[in-house]
Amino acid sequence: MWFRRLLALFALLVPLVLLAIAVFLVFYAWPAIHYNGLDFLWRDTWNIGNQYASPIQRHGETVMPGAQFGILFLVAGTLGSALIALLFAFPLGLGAALFLSEAVPHRFGHFVSFFVELLAGIPSVVFGLWGIVFLIPFLSHHVYPVLARLFHFIPFLTRPIGSGYGLLTSSLVLCLMIVPFITATLRDALRSQSTEMREAGISLGATRFEVATRILLPGQKTALAGATMLAFGRALGETMAVLMVSGNALNYLPHNVYSPISTMAAFIVAQLDSALADPTGMAVRSLAEIAVLLLVISLITNGIARLLIGMLKEHTL
């Protein structure tokens, strides 16, 4: 029995670590949560205040005069980049998974999917490097001008195309980073379906594509939803790659897809140094409030994703 208790102690560490992270963050961010109130999400100015003045008291907290913290531009950037990334990643991941599981021999499919899933293993910062030295020059010289000219009648796709650092570039990089989650989960789910289903479909006169999309895929809706949620969560919390290609906009709402943006995760890295200049510490605590929000978002998206995928496992076992 002592051995089981010892192992249980180690297992207990996982919930404890997560609890400690949440408690520390909320505790640390509390003055900022109190000072910023609910407007935090809807205000679009991040201003750490006049650093040359003396601290003042406002709403019972010590802050620098003029200090105001709002992250609407971050919310817009985070949601915008993640949603556009999902818009690309969903069809790409779905198509690739269908093709890998139903159209090519299994050996070949196995090899290629290993290769595609390696995308998930490439570090965020390497994606960022590739984005800066290859993708951004390529897009801003050859793709975005054409895109802006072709779709000049669609408000969000018209000029100015800017420098290449921005919303669409971030989304494209994010898309490559999250696609493996969708492809890998869906391919495994499709392959786990019985051969009889395929044979029954073929014998009814359906083409292989119809078997894949009308018979196999509908059974995997939950897996697909779970994987998509997981990918969305990843996109929302991705830091380094976005930091490097987003243009790090401050207090600026994107007005087209080429606009520079910043996301909540990238903003924490980008602003911690200057937030540390605030002698009252309110700026760092407001960054902690962003971290709290990120934590809550990741708990929700991953919780839903795992429940969906978990439901599926009980269903198939």
Partner 1 sequence: MSQAPGDPPPRPSSAWIRYRRIKSAIGWFLAGTALVALSVAMVQILLYVFLQGFHSLAPKLFVENTVGVGGGLKNAILGTALLSGSAVILSALIGVAAGLYLSEFGEGRLGTLTRFLSDVLVGVPSIVLGFVGYVTLTVWLRWRFSLAAGAITLAVLMLPYIVRSTELALRRVASGIRESAYALGCRDHQVVFKVLLKAAAPGIGTGILLALAISAGETAPLLYTAGWSNYSWSGHLIHEPVAYLTYVIWSFIGEPFHSAHALAYVAAFLITFMILLINLLARFLIASSPHSNR
Binding to partner 1 (CB under 8 A): which residues in 54-73? none
Encoded tokens for 190: 């499709």
4 binds partner 1 (CB under 8 A): yes
* Chain position carrying tokens 């003396």: 54
* Residue 133 to residue 208: CA distance in whole angstroms: 42
**Contacts (Cβ under 8 Å, ≥6 apart) of 144:** 161, 164, 168, 258
Least Å distance, CB 124 to partner 1, is 7
163 binds partner 1 (CB under 8 A): no
Looking at beta carbons only, is 47 or 302 nearer to partner 1?
302
153 binds partner 1 (CB under 8 A): no
Least Å distance, CB 79 to partner 1, is 15
294 binds partner 1 (CB under 8 A): yes
Q: Which of 299, 313, 315, 316 binds partner 1 (CB under 8 A)?
A: 299
Least Å distance, CB 205 to partner 1, is 8
Least Å distance, CB 188 to partner 1, is 11
Binders in 111-150 for partner 1, by CB under 8 A: 112, 114-116, 118-119, 121-130, 132-134
Encoded tokens for 284: 């760092």
Residue 52's φ and ψ, nearest 5 degrees, are: -100, -5
131 contacts 244 by C-beta, under 8 angstroms: yes
Distance of CA 290 to the CA centre of its chain: 15
Binders in 251-280 for partner 1, by CB under 8 A: 265, 268-269, 272
Q: Which of 63, 71, 94, 184 binds partner 1 (CB under 8 A)?
A: 94
* Listed residue (76, 257, 71) closest to 170, CA to CA: 257
298 binds partner 1 (CB under 8 A): yes
Q: Which of 213, 250, 252, 253 binds partner 1 (CB under 8 A)?
A: 213
291 binds partner 1 (CB under 8 A): yes
189 binds partner 1 (CB under 8 A): no
230 binds partner 1 (CB under 8 A): yes
**SS3 helix, strand, coil % of the chain, rounded to 5?**
75, 5, 25
Looking at beta carbons only, is 41 or 304 nearer to partner 1?
304
Looking at beta carbons only, is 155 or 205 nearer to partner 1?
205
* Residue 307 to residue 313: CA distance in whole angstroms: 10
283 binds partner 1 (CB under 8 A): no
Residue 46's φ and ψ, nearest 5 degrees, are: -115, 105
CB atoms within 10 A of CB 228: 22
CA distance readout (Å), 128 to 90, 115, 184:
22, 20, 23
Could you tell me how many residues make up the chain?
317
Least Å distance, CB 282 to partner 1, is 14
